[in-house]
Amino acid sequence: MLAREYKSHLTVTGERLPPPMTCFIGLVNMGVISKKIGREIDYYRTLRNKLVHGEEDSINTLDKKIIDKIKSITLQIKNLID
């Protein structure tokens, strides 16, 4: 019953999805993304979590430089897919 309730959180083999950084470490190890991009993704993932959980104030934390960097990383990842 529990598995059915959380089925969307499971892989096709029925196992839980790995934590996000495990995925990024795998992409770095396969040479898909650079270590620098992996570290930047982890930094912004951590920042996002702090914002979501109220540990940081978005008004004082998110400036144009950070937003532009996130857009740049997003574009680099989109270019990998295309």
Q: What is the pLDDT of residues 11-55, one digit of tens each?
A: 556 666 667 778 888 888 999 889 999 889 989 989 999 999 999
Q: Please list, in sequence order, all residues whose beta carbon lies within 8 angstroms of the beta carbon of residue 74, skipping any fewer than 6 positions away.
A: none
The pLDDT, as a whole number, for residue 69 is 95
Q: Please compute the mean of the pLDDT values over residues 49-74 and round it to a whole number.
A: 92
Select from 29, 31, 30, 44 the least CA-distant residue to 74.
44
- Total Cβ atoms within 10 A of residue 13: 5
Model confidence, pTM: 0.69
